[in-house]
Amino acid sequence: MDPLILSFALVNGLLIGGIYGGVALGLSLIFGVMRVVNFAHGSLLMLALYAAFWLQALAGIDPYASVVVTVPLLFAVGFLIQSVVIAPLIRRESALVVEPLSALLLTAGVYLVIDNLALMAFGPDVRSASTGLALAPLMLGPIPVNSQRLIAFSAAILAAILLSLWLRSTRLGRAIRATAQNRDAAALSGIDVPLIYAVTFGIGAALLGLFGSLLATFIPISPQVGLSFGIRSFIVVVLGGIGSIPGSIVGGLVIGVFEALASQFVPATSAAILSLGLFVLILLVRPSGLMGRA
Amino acid sequence: MTTSLSRRTALARGALALTAMALAAPAQAQTQPQAEIPVGWVLPLSGGSAAIGQQARAGVQIAVEQINAAGGIKALNGAKLKLVFADSQSKPDIGVSETERLIQRENVAVMSGAFNSAVTFPATEVAERYKTPWIVMGAVKDEITERNFKYVFRINNKATYDAREQLDAMDLLKKETGQGPKTLAIFYEGSDWGRSHAANVRKLAKERGYTLVLDEAAPPNQVDFSAQLLKIRAARPDALIAAFYTPDHLLLSRQLLEQQLNLPYGVHSVGGGTEDPSFYKAISPKAVAYYFVQEDRQVDALQGARLPEFTDVETKFKAQLGYDMSAYGAQGFAVMYVIKDALERARSADRQALRDAVAATDITAGPALYAGYQRIKFDEQGQNTFAHGAISQNLNGQRRTVWPAESRSPETKPAWPVPAFGARS
Amino acid sequence: MTTAHPGRPRRPFVPLPDETPTLSLGAAAPRRPHGARAAGAAVLGAILLGGLAAAALPLVVQDAYFLHSCIVVLFFAYMATAWNFVCGYVGQLSIGHAMFAGVGGYATVLLFTGLGLSPWLGMPVGGLLAALLSVVVGYPTFRLRGPYFALTTIAFAEMIRIWVENTDSVLGIPLNGAAGLTVPLRGESLAALQFNGKAPYYWVIVALLVGALAATWWLERSKLGFYLKAIRGDRDAAESLGISPARYQLVALAISAFMTGIGGGFYAQFFRYVNAERLIGVDLSIDMALMSIIGGQGTVFGPLLGAVLLAPLAEITRGSLGGSLLGLHIVVYGIILMLAVLYLPKGLIAPLRAVLARAGLGGGRR
């Protein structure tokens, strides 16, 4: 196996893996704080992609500039979904920690509704956005690195760092962490738990808003695009450790590199089976993930 | 003590029975001359193939508008055609159930659809059992017209034709210029369509003396083909045969351009994404320059007179969907005219008579040839042996037919071999 | 932020309502008071009588499409009941159950085309193979809880689906990859389980459903069911009393997989075409789970109720809305799911049960 080809594969794997990690950040956060497995995670990314697309198609806004709109927009969507759809479930089950299975089913319903409303509203055709920025590939030696992916990768790393810092140093961030550790104690210390939940969900969605804008230029946009990202995000989050922000990035990188390298030796279809197998193995052997505390 | 529970169960079942019977439309008497002839269509109107289902539906609806506006079926006193659509959701069991419903409840005179081979295959068997004619649209699985069925007909290509045409085009250009590819790579989506196409290519390539240097499947809905492109680059094929649906084809084409992967004799796409008009809206022309596309329709149709029906459908199609006519819109349109032709000859909407009329179809002119065939005639298995696609090359932003030679416009000069990325303007 | 360990639930021991298992050493199934035993017999009676009544339907209604629709509904009811057999009583969410249907369906077809084995035998053999798979999959997976269990079942099912789609033949057995397998037409043949009319298929599925309901009824009353309830209530306490969760869960899973496998075989015979995407795909798993949950998991009739309501609803919305607005019927489905999860967590059967309990004709145990 040509070492140049392998290193090319490695670089690609890192890039796409970092992107997966960034996309999965929101899922990790939401699960870590609320114990809700958000089945609609991919659907929200799909909405963000469409938002970026329509902003360009209708208002001529470059996808990179549209971040200013998509992030708050998706925050609002996430906030709303939590307050309106999921909060009643948590209220009902307030005697126990929310039954994670009901939340999974509920968010599955959300996924079905969002994906198919998108199909109805936007039609089934595949769309794509393009950026006005002329970005030549960055050359790492002989290896061309696609600039758009590099930007998304950098954004993922940056977002993870900023999010970690924010959670640690701001009052709101600390409140979120407190709620994650012990909801009842947090409530007793005066934290408005339902608000925290809504904000957390909003932040998780807002992160997707960011990536929707960044990915719109090179990911084909269709109503179905959400599901595969959603499943990938689960794998990443489990691999990296539920609720661990750096874990999300690490998990993403591991998956990305693994698939990229494996695809050199076996067809991508078999590599997909291997990824799933890896996922199962991690769950059985080290369920807390790579960066979670056992 | 048993009464309450058993009564509940019985009540539940009774309610179900009553509800279902209430929903059942009364069967139309079939003896009186019908003012409306119901035509059933099973299409994927949701799910992954929804775009194509929508295109086909548009073509079908416009054709029926035209036919009804022109006076309906003259042999039946101007009876109008009435369309009944059903969503298969691309699932075989739903396609089968919907077929049952259309045949039994809606009493359709003829069925059509269903694009997805996995749906069409079992659903046509239902039609065969109920002795209802079915004219296949879109599905390429060979076995659909290899079962000795009497009621199933197909106007479009079988899967084997598609593969054969791709290689025929290469052979033709090789003959004309003295140069051609010796090694091929096939890269395809890993489900039914991609794999069956790859299997056909493999077989034919062997027969015709091509060497396959890469034979790779990819799962659908990828976000990155870098890994596979590396493999293709390492294998150095002379030409690449690709079979992907729209999202993956978009990604592939973009990344081929980005990575400046040169293929001396070009990319040969067997449709899927590259016959989807929305694909061309979403991709930069640079990425598809010089692409060879096999599709079931000639984009720059030369044959025969340019009928007013064609202009009409193209305008309305574009108005409805926002992009130009697609192969599946054209096929849907064509099938409706085949049905009209058969109804006129059968002089009856009775299924058996209609079936016999369809079997005797021999169309050499008219709107039914919109899909680009020169003739529609079904063999004993129900296959239109005159079905063929066309291979076009994307030259200066336009798709120009290069194969068959008779369909090539004299102005079209195929680029063979295909210029490298560095040499392109 | 703490990480949730997937192997340990964090909630305190709160017995689920309706189930207050009294654990004792040397646990034997508790003796039931007379009233409950009679109610139990009533349920069994209902199942059998209901089955007979249902079987009489084709004698009254001949309409082929109506029978076809009933068969589809009963098929899903059967699959949901089979799913509920393990998931309703163990309290886990399996979204990969379709892999058992796939194994059963493929085995039935391959045994028929390869060895000429009648589906009457092929279906149980397929069921056994599915049960075997379930033990292999379940043994490591049952250690996980909640969503982790669910995600793992999806992962296993997807691995199998992708593998089947990519494999043309293995060990000489033609799997045909993504193209799927067809059951060769034999016309009217009892031995080949193929019929020209709908009624025989209908009777087969009614018989299968009655069997599944009866099995669930038996489960509720058996030692196995008792142990499962204990494990569901508090796994650690049960374990400390010597009840091995793994063993009993696996038994329940194997039986459930066996039934699901037979269901896959029936699907193969009825539609005469199987492919990995439909029969091993996640959509089928979700259908099975949803019908059971919305109807009321952990009960005998819940899944049947769920199927009877959801399957025709899906068909009706598809029929009236599917042709016009893309995907609208699935939106409706999703909304119903959300409403059910929020407002009817115990399933639609809960209000019915409450009514019956108030009338003093409890079908459950106190």
Same domain, B281 and B405: yes
pLDDT band at C360 (very low <50, low <70, confident <90, very high): low
Cα nearest neighbour of C7 on chain A: A287
Q: Look at residue C2 and tell me whether its pLDDT is greater than 80.
A: no
* Secondary structure letter of residue B213 according to DSSP: E
Pairing of strands C169-170, C173-174: antiparallel
In tens, the pLDDT along A155-183 reads 999 999 999 999 999 999 999 999 888 88
- Regarding whether B246 and B168 lie in a shared domain, the answer is yes
Confidence of residue B150 (pLDDT cuts 50, 70, 90): very high
Q: Which residue of C has its CA nearest to B9?
A: C50
Q: How far apart are the first and last CA of chain A?
A: 38
Residues B288 and B229 in one domain: yes
The predicted pLDDT at position B353 comes to 95
Encode B170-203: b = buried (16+ Cβ within 10 Å), e = exposed: bebbeeeeeebbebbbbbbbbbbbbbbbbbbbbe
Answer whether C261's CB lies under 8 Å from C126's CB: yes
**Residue C24 reports pLDDT greater than 60:** no
Average pLDDT over residues B84-100: 92
Say whether pLDDT at C12 is over 70: no
Tokens of B82: 């009435």
Mean pLDDT for chain B? 87
- The winner for highest mean pLDDT among B73-87, B410-424, C123-137 is C123-137
CATH code for the structural domain at A3-123+142-285:
1.10.3470
Are B312 and B288 in a shared domain? no
pLDDT at C363: 47
Q: Which of the residue ranges A111-115, B411-415, C229-233 would you say has the lowest mean pLDDT?
A: C229-233
With cut-offs at 50, 70 and 90, classify the pLDDT of residue B28. very low
B118 to chain C: nearest residue by CA?
C179
What per-residue confidence (pLDDT) applies to C354?
83
Residue B50, min C-alpha distance to chain C (Å): 8
- Max mean pLDDT range (B227-236, B271-280, C75-84): C75-84
Task: Mark which residues 86-105 of C lie under 8 Å from B by CB.
Answer: none
Q: pLDDT value at position B99?
A: 95
Phi, psi for residue B90 in degrees, rounded to 5: 60, 20
Report how far residue C222's alpha carbon sits from residue C211's, in angstroms, rounded to the nearest whole number: 16
What pLDDT, on the 0 to 100 scale, is given for residue B3?
43
Using the beta-carbon criterion (under 8 Å), do C341 and A234 form an inter-chain contact?
Answer: no
Interchain proximity C39–B13, CB inside 8 Å:
no
> For position B23, what pLDDT does the model report?
46
Say yes or no: A283 contacts chain C, CB-CB below 8 A: yes
Q: What is the pLDDT of residue C147?
A: 79
- Can you name the residues that pair with B218 across neighbouring β-strands? B189
For residue C325, which residues of chain A lie inside 8 Å, CB to CB?
120
Q: Is the pLDDT of residue B93 over 60?
A: yes
Banded model confidence at residue C283, pLDDT cuts 50, 70, 90: confident
C147 has a chain A CB within 8 A of its CB: yes
Q: Tens digit of pLDDT for each residue in B8-24? A: 444 445 455 444 444 44
Residue B208 belongs to some domain of the structure = yes
pLDDT score at C316: 77
| Span B179-215, pLDDT tens digits | 999 999 999 998 788 888 999 999 999 999 999 999 9
Q: In what order do the strands lie in the sheet with B80-87?
A: B80-87, B36-43, B110-114, B134-137, B152-154
- B219 CB neighbours in chain A (<8 A) are 268-269, 272
pLDDT digits (tens, 9 = 90+) for C101-116: 999 999 999 999 999 9
Q: Is position B191 within any domain?
A: yes
Stronger pLDDT, C17 or C50, i.e. the higher one: C50
| Element at C123 (helix H, strand E) | helix C119-141
Residue B15 lies in a domain: no
What is the rounded distance in angstroms from the CA atom of residue A44 to the CA atom of residue A36? Answer: 15
Gap between the Cα atoms of B316 and B213, Å rounded: 45
> Residue C33's pLDDT is what?
59
Residue B261 and residue B338 in one domain? no
Number of structural domains chain B divides into: 2
CA distance B348 to chain A (A): 38
> How does residue C23 score in pLDDT terms, banded at 50, 70 and 90?
very low
Cβ pair A125:B278 closer than 8 A: yes
pLDDT class for B302, splitting at 50, 70, 90? Answer: low
Going from the C-alpha of C105 to that of each of B254, C177, C267, C269, the distances in angstroms are 41, 14, 7, 8
Smallest CA–CA separation between A232 and chain B, in Å?
A: 11
Please name which of C242, C198, C212, C274 lies closest in space to residue C82, comparing C-alpha atoms: C212
Nearest chain A CA: its distance from B364 CA (Å) = 34
Query: Which of A197-211, B250-264, C311-325 ranks highest by mean pLDDT?
Result: A197-211
Query: Are the CB atoms for A282 and A289 separated by under 8 Å?
Result: yes
Q: Is the pLDDT of residue B72 over 80?
A: yes
Q: Is B392 helix (H, G, I), strand (E, B) or coil?
A: strand
Locate the chain A residue with the closest alpha carbon to C347.
A102
Q: How far apart are CA B409 and CA A189, in angstroms?
A: 80
pLDDT of residue C31: 55
- Is residue B96 domain-shared with residue B193, that is, in the same domain? no
User: Mean pLDDT in chain C?
Assistant: 83
CA distance, residue C47 to nearest chain A CA (Å): 29
- Neighbouring chains of C at 3+ CB pairs under 8 Å are A, B
> Residue B30: its pLDDT value, please?
47
Q: Which long-range contacts (CB under 8 A, 24 or more apart) does B302-311 make?
A: B302/B401, B302/B407, B302/B409, B303/B369, B303/B372, B303/B374, B303/B407, B304/B365, B304/B369, B307/B366, B307/B367, B309/B66, B309/B367, B309/B370, B310/B367, B310/B370
Q: Which of C2, C5, C341 minimises the CB distance to A287?
A: C5
Q: Closest to A119 (Cβ–Cβ): which among C4, C12, C327?
A: C327
Clarify whether residues B272 and B411 are in a common domain.
Answer: yes
Residue B203 forms part of a structural domain: yes
Give the span between the Cα atoms of B162 and B145, in whole angstroms.
15
DSSP per-residue letters across C268-337: HHHHSEE-HHHHTSHHHHHHHHHHHHHH-TTSSSHHHHHHHHHHHHHHHHIIIIITTSTTHHHHHHHHHH
Shortest CA distance from C151: residue in chain A: A234
Name A29's Cβ contacts closer than 8 Å, sequence gap at least 6: A163, A200, A203, A204, A207, A243, A245
Position B237: which residue type? P
Angle between helices A3-34 and A147-169 (to 10 degrees): 30
Compute the nearest-CA separation of A149 from chain B (Å): 10
Token pair for B315: 């305008």
In C, minimum Cα distance to B84 occurs at C323
Q: Which of C305, C285, C287 is closest to C348 using CA atoms?
A: C305
Six-digit token string for B178: 């003295």
Higher pLDDT, A10 or B26: A10
B39 beta partners: B83, B110
Distance from CA of C328 to the nearest CA of B (A): 9
**Chain-centroid distance, C-alpha C310:** 15
- Do residues B178 and B284 both lie within one domain? yes
pLDDT at C331 (0 to 100) = 86
Confidence of residue C297 (pLDDT cuts 50, 70, 90): confident
Does residue B347 lie within any of the structural domains? yes
Does residue B29 register a pLDDT over 50?
A: no
C17 pLDDT above the threshold of 50? no
What CA–CA distance (Å, rounded) separates B337 from C201?
38
Give me the pLDDT at residue C37, please: 73
Q: What would you measure as the largest C-alpha separation in chain A, in angstroms? A: 61
Contact B276 A264 (CB under 8 A): no
Residues B82 and B65 in one domain: yes
Q: Mean pLDDT over residues B228-240, rounded? A: 91
Is a pLDDT exceeding 70 seen at residue B112?
A: yes
Mean pLDDT (whole number) for C312-332: 73
Q: Tell if the CB–CB gap between C65 and B6 is shorter than 8 Å.
A: no
Q: What is the mean pLDDT of chain A?
A: 88
Is the same domain home to B180 and B277? yes
φ/ψ of residue B136, rounded to 5? -70, 140
Same domain, B135 and B169: no
Q: In sequence order, what DSSP letters do the residues of chain A get, joined into one string? A: --HHHHHHHHHHHHHHHHHHHHHHHHHHHHHHHH----TTHHHHHHHHHHHHHHHHHHH---TTTTHHHHHHHHHHHHHHHIIIIIHHHHHHTTTSS--HHHHHHHHHHHHHHHHHHHHHHH-S--B----SS--PPEEETTEEE-HHHHHHHHHHHHHHHHHHHHHHHSHHHHHHHHHHH-HHHHHHTT--HHHHHHHHHHHHHHHHHHHHHHHTTTSPB-TTHHHHHHHHHHHHHHHH-TT-HHHHHHHHHHHHHHHHHHHHHS-HHHHHHHHHHHHHHHHHH-TTTTTS--
**Residue among B234, B237, B295, B228 nearest B256 (CA):** B228
Which amino acid is located at B244 in the chain? F
Q: Are C292 and A105 spatial neighbours (Cβ–Cβ below 8 Å)?
A: no
With CB atoms and an 8 Å threshold, state whether C147 touches A100. yes
Identify the pLDDT of residue B22. Answer: 42
What's residue C322's pLDDT?
59
Do B258 and A146 meet the contact criterion of CB atoms below 8 Å apart? yes
* CATH number of the domain encompassing residue B289: 3.40.50.2300
Output the pLDDT for position C323. 57
pLDDT (tens digit per residue) in C139-165:
999 888 777 888 899 999 999 999 998
Cα–Cα separations (whole angstroms), residue A95 to A184, C204, C231? 10, 45, 20
- Between chains, do A5 and B276 touch, taking CB under 8 Å as contact? no
Q: Are residues B236 and B203 in the same domain?
A: yes
CA neighbor of A77 nearest in space, from A19, A32, A118:
A118
In this predicted structure, what is the pLDDT of residue C342? 85
Partner B contacted by A138 (CB < 8 A): no
Q: For Cα atoms A114, A116, A117, give the angle at the middle one, nearest 5 degrees.
A: 65
Residue B23 lies in a domain: no
Q: What is the pTM of this model?
A: 0.85
Q: Strand pairing of B376-377 and B362-363? A: antiparallel
B247 and chain A in contact, CB less than 8 A: yes
Give the separation between CA C56 and CA C50, rounded to whole angstroms. 10
Please check whether residue A7 touches B, CB under 8 A.
Answer: no
pLDDT of residue A269: 82
In 3-state terms chain B splits into helix, strand, coil percentages (rounded to 5) of 45, 20, 35
pLDDT higher than 60, residue A247: yes
C39 vs B: CB within 8 A = yes
DSSP, collapsed to helix, strand or coil, labels residue C187 as coil
Evaluate if residue A79 carries a pLDDT over 90: yes
The parent domain of residue B406 ranges over 160-295+389-423
